[in-house]
Structure 1
Amino acid sequence: MFEAFVTICMLAAAGPVSPLPGETCRIALLPGFAAETQAACEHAARLAARQPASVKAEGLPFCALRPRSALAFSEAAPGVFVHRGKVAEPDPANVGDVSNIAFVVGSRGIAVIDAGGSRKVGEEIYLAIRERSTLPITHLILTHMHPDHVFGADPLREAGAAIIGHANLPRALADRAETYRANFARLIGEAAFLGSQVPVPDRVIAELEMIDLGDRVLELRAFPPAHTASDLTVFDRTSGILFAGDLLFDTHTPALDDGLALGPATEVIGRSEADRWLLFDLFNPRNATIAYTELEWDP
């Protein structure tokens, strides 16, 4: 099977100053044009002339044999595939692959749960799915607003997925879009971040709704503010697996939504738990500061 690709480069900043030499470019996958022959793939891709809006393409799309995904997915239950992100801060080596990702296969379609922290990660999710199924990718469910869960959304949307999230997700993403873009581009590097955009959900969940993938029903439940103000869980009735997003932490120190300036309390709060969690010294001071500040204002 052949897939379409295009070389994408960072757009030069507007203004009278010429861009510096050495453009940042990478080859990006363009989902939606898979074909049995290279000629059929290239014909479809060139007619559409589709490319990420935040970048410019160098030349026309081209097609090549579908590569294997760089992401490792394991089958947690029949039809349920999970990928464990790195327990680390986003950096150029992991290209934003620091959150857990899953996809669930029904008889008529596939739902993806979270999209990773860059378009590059989203492309790898698409390839991992196509290694296992040719069914339509019908839904992308974002469990909350944090950038390591959302920036990989575009390739899955281009493959046909409707993006679904908490009722608070559109506003939360819109309010933080520029900050998220700037911070994640800095953390993982411009080349890895190329083509990554804050997604716009197609549908939102306020309480409880069901998605039928064909002989497989997913329950989507919206939560009040907890890890963020936009937390959503996904329960697969068939396997009995609950996808909790960042409402549940295991080895990674739990993180609250925003980090504030460190205060005196951060040196002692939670210190007895340090040996039980990875990245404790990175995340616990942030969490302690938020919790301490909130408690100060309790009546």
Structure 2
Amino acid sequence: MLGACLWLGLAGPGSATDVSPLPIAEIAPGIFVHQGRHVSLEDPARADSANIGFIVGERCVAIVDTGGSVAMGAALLVTVRAATEKPICYVINSHGHFDHVLGNAAFTDLPGVQFAGHSNLAENLGASTDFFLRQFAAELGPAPAAGQIVLPTLQVADRQELDLGGRALELQAHATAHSHADLTVYDRETGTLWLGDLLFMERIPALDGSLLGWIEVMERLQVIAVNRVVPGHGPASAPWPAASLPQMSYLQSLRDEVRAGIGAGEFMEDLMKTAGAQQRSQWLLHEFNHERNVSRAFTELEWE
């Protein structure tokens, strides 16, 4: 049922022992989303902070992001198995941040599965491997190893269509925006667009790529007619383009105020306290990401 939130039971005795399924919402026929929590990197629940889910076709299933730990990936696998017996043919990563990719390792033993991502993703993950092993050792399990950072076997440089059997997914690689490897997934059958972290709702956006690039990508996406979007953080489903407006306001204010401050000779440290201050109450976790966003924006804009 559209928008129904369910606790899916285990597939049966002996399946994925002691792994509990995730709460999941079927936001459109065959489109299932687990809504992540709004927590910071310091929170013990940080592995469950991103929206992840799966799409069921007539032939097989595509996963879209796997969560921030091997355990999250295993729980997602149990959830899929409770919903359908169809094989998983694709694991798609919207970008390379830990909360979207560290669950990949739970899917590597599945026969025939392909891991899909932006053509920049392999390089991004390779560069992040040592950091992931240090910072997220607990999320990788008792023996963290570089092999748990799963690289894409299907790399998307522009557009790629995946066939799930009677259900086509359109993968679109984007220029540097939120990150250097942002990929969107569009389900034609239901008009559902998975945006990954190109869209934050409720919690403050986190800039890791290009502020100007992010605004440009969002401006292009805003004119696309879709029935609903799945943000990387926030509700499981949201209307489009209305869902984009708060984030666009934040990003544009960040651009304009940092740019003006640079022009007036202000220091980065001062702008961290003043730029975007009027939006402080509009975003959860503002105190964890905003100053970092200002720093990245300053570094980018001072060379205009």
> TM-score normalised to the size of structure 2?
0.72
CA distance in 2, matches of 1:194, 1:246: 26
Residue of structure 2 aligned with 1:177, choices 122, 126, 129: 129
Tell me which residue corresponds to 1:43.
none
Question: How many percent identity over aligned positions?
Answer: 35
Could you tell me which amino acid in structure 2 is paired with residue 116 of structure 1?
A: G
Q: Secondary structure at the match of 1:224?
A: coil
1:1-299 to 2 correspondence within 5 Å?
66-67=17-18, 69-90=20-41, 93-94=44-45, 96-160=47-111, 161-185=113-137, 197-257=148-208, 263-298=269-304
Tell me which residue corresponds to 1:21.
none
Change (3 A) 1:66 1:189: closer
CA distance in 2, matches of 1:105, 1:135: 8
CA distance in 1, matches of 2:293, 2:143: 27
Cα displacement (A) at 1:77: 0.7
Q: Secondary structure at the match of 1:117?
A: coil
1:184–1:193 CA contact under 8 A, matched in 2: no
Tell me which residue corresponds to 2:220.
none
Structure 1 residues 236-267: Cα deviation after superposition (integer angstroms, max 9, x where no partner): 00111100000011011000117xxx722101
Change (3 A) 1:209 1:191: closer
Could you tell me which amino acid in structure 1 is paired with residue 124 of structure 2?
A: A
Could you tell me which amino acid in structure 2 is paired with residue 197 of structure 1?
A: Q
Q: Secondary structure at the match of 1:143?
A: coil
1:234–1:244 CA contact under 8 A, matched in 2: yes
Cα displacement (A) at 1:230: 0.4
Change (3 A) 1:126 1:90: farther
Q: Number of aligned pairs?
A: 235
Q: Secondary structure at the match of 2:200?
A: coil
CA distance in 2, matches of 1:107, 1:190: 33
Cα displacement (A) at 1:191: 5.2
CA distance in 2, matches of 1:198, 1:189: 12
Change (3 A) 1:65 1:264: closer
CA distance in 1, matches of 2:282, 2:43: 27
Counting helix residues as a fraction of each chain, which structure ranks higher? 2
2:16–2:78 CA contact under 8 A, matched in 1: no
CA distance in 1, matches of 2:21, 2:166: 30
Instruction: Note the aligned Cα RMSD (angstroms).
Output: 2.5
Change (3 A) 1:67 1:131: farther
Q: Secondary structure at the match of 2:108?
A: helix
2:70–2:102 CA contact under 8 A, matched in 1: yes
2:161–2:168 CA contact under 8 A, matched in 1: yes
Cα displacement (A) at 1:281: 1.2
Counting strand residues as a fraction of each chain, which structure ranks higher? 1
Return 5+ residue gaps in structure 2 as ranges: 1-10, 210-267
Cα displacement (A) at 1:127: 0.3
Cα displacement (A) at 1:189: 6.4
Could you tell me which amino acid in structure 2 is paired with residue 119 of structure 1?
A: V
1:95–1:121 CA contact under 8 A, matched in 2: no
CA distance in 2, matches of 1:212, 1:271: 46
Tell me which residue corresponds to 2:223.
none
Could you tell me which amino acid in structure 2 is paired with residue 181 of structure 1?
A: L
CA distance in 2, matches of 1:167, 1:82: 25
1:118–1:192 CA contact under 8 A, matched in 2: no
Computing the radius of gyration over CA atoms, which structure comes out larger, 1 or 2? 1
Cα displacement (A) at 1:141: 0.3
CA distance in 1, matches of 2:82, 2:142: 23
